[in-house]
């Protein structure tokens, strides 16, 4: 079993691996010291930038006594991303095992459309990676375009303008506005920012990919249940239904492991996204770097929406099996089999879901609640 390769989330795993946050293909189930050093490298590379942004934020508050909505949004997003990343790293082995088990079909066969669905999921993962990259380029591009204006505003406020043109306002202890220092720091800030800020959307999408593969198995089980009661041979019918019961138990186990693996990361996501979106809304309303703020806002809303869609998709899929059992020709079965059907029907009444800490479960209403929360915070910030 340990030699089985993971066949799902190929693109997402590749993105995480290139971001130093996922082991090499042959070490996914048993990461070695090299993986630990790559994770340490990620935090060292991105941590310097986040520290400089944090120092800049407090210097601005001390000098101007005014909260910069753009910097506050970046800070909350950065530390929120760190929380999600740490939660995901803590459960990396669980996630890898779950994806490995979803790639094994020895007991019940490969679900129909498995390859097609996962090709589609990998294509969407590529689009999300492309959006993250292009959004970071446009974000940094607007900062470069507004470099002169940034210097003018900082001069009026009596603040350092060393960071103007970089991805985010950050504190720098030395002058950088000359070649090649500025260009080297520009590349570093862009790379570090891109490595960090894209993580929320890919972690959320990883949950969606796993949900999609669980739903594939639920649909496969539905077909097996309907086929079971088409058979007139009682012995064969009993044997096939026993397979259905075992398959159902496996699916319930997958759903429970999914919830356990993403519980903490989704909690962090939901806890901070409202505040991030509110700060970005204030930035947009104030007319400060509108394009950059809009791209950042869309990214976080998209990450939140993907997580809530994953949760709602799983909840909706919970209703497939009770409906399939009720539709099947169970009434032609003998008494013993009918009793088994009743037990399976009772067990399938329990909804499958992904929890987001004390916020409840991921679903569409929770998505709307977070949007309402962000609007309430925006009203407080602008009052």
Print the SS3 string covering 119-132: HHHHHHHHHHHHHH
* pTM of the complete model: 0.95
Beta-carbon contacts of residue 190 (< 8 Å; ≥ 6 apart):
136, 137, 140, 167
d(CA 377, CA 193): 25
Beta-carbon contacts of residue 147 (< 8 Å; ≥ 6 apart):
164, 165
43 burial class (0-12, 13-18, 19+ CB within 10 angstroms)?
A: middle
pLDDT of residue 65: 62
pLDDT of residue 3: 55
CB 324 within 8 A of CB 225: yes
pLDDT of residue 310: 97
pLDDT of residue 314: 97
Per domain, the residue ranges of the chain are: 10-382
DSSP 358: B
Q: Locate all alpha helices (DSSP H) within the chain, ordered by sequence.
A: 10-18, 33-64, 69-90, 92-101, 114-145, 147-157, 181-197, 199-228, 234-286, 290-317, 320-327, 335-347, 364-382
pLDDT of residue 332: 86
> What are the average pLDDT values for consecutive 10-residue runs of the chain, which has 383 residues?
80 96 92 95 96 90 77 92 96 96 95 96 97 94 90 80 85 86 94 94 97 97 94 89 95 97 93 92 88 92 96 96 91 90 90 90 95 92 80
DSSP 26: G
pLDDT of residue 234: 87
pLDDT of residue 273: 93
């Amino acid at each position: 079993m340990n030699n089985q390769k993971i066949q799902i989330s190929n693109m997402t795993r590749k993105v995480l691996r290139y971001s130093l946050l996922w082991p090499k293909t042959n070490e996914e189930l048993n990461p070695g010291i090299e993986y630990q050093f790559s994770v340490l490298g990620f935090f060292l590379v991105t941590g310097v930038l986040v520290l400089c942004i944090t120092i800049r934020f407090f210097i601005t508050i001390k000098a101007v006594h005014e909260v910069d909505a753009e910097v506050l949004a970046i800070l909350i997003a950065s530390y929120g991303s760190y929380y999600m990343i740490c939660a995901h790293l803590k459960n990396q082995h669980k996630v890898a095992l779950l994806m490995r088990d979803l790639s094994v079909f020895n007991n019940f066969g490969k679900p129909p459309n498995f390859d097609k669905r996962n090709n589609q999921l990998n294509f969407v993962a590529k689009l999300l990676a492309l959006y993250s990259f292009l959004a970071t380029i446009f974000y940094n591009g607007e900062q470069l375009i507004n470099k002169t204006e940034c210097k003018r505003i900082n001069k009026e406020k009596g603040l350092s303008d060393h960071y103007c043109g970089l991805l985010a306002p950050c504190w720098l202890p030395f002058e950088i506005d000359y070649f090649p220092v500025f260009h080297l720091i520009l590349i570093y800030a862009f790379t570090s920012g891109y490595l960090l800020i894209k993580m929320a959307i890919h972690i959320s999408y990883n949950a969606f990919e796993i949900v999609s593969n669980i739903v594939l198995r639920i649909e496969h089980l539905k077909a097996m249940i309907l086929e079971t009661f088409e058979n007139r041979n009682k012995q064969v019918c009993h044997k096939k239904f026993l397979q259905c019961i075992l398959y159902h138990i496996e699916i319930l186990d997958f759903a429970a492991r999914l919830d356990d693996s993403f519980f903490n990361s989704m909690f962090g996501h939901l806890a901070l996204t409202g505040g991030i979106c509110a700060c970005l809304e204030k930035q947009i309303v104030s007319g400060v770097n509108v394009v950059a703020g809009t791209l950042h806002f869309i990214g976080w809303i998209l990450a939140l929406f993907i997580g809530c869609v994953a949760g709602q998709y799983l909840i909706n899929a919970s209703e497939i099996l009770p409906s399939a059992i009720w539709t099947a020709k169970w009434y032609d079965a003998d008494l013993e089999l009918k009793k088994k059907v009743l037990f399976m029907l009772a067990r399938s009444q329990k909804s499958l879901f992904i929890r987001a800490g004390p916020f409840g479960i991921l679903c569409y209403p929770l998505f709307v609640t977070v949007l309402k929360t962000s609007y309430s915070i925006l009203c407080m910030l602008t009052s």
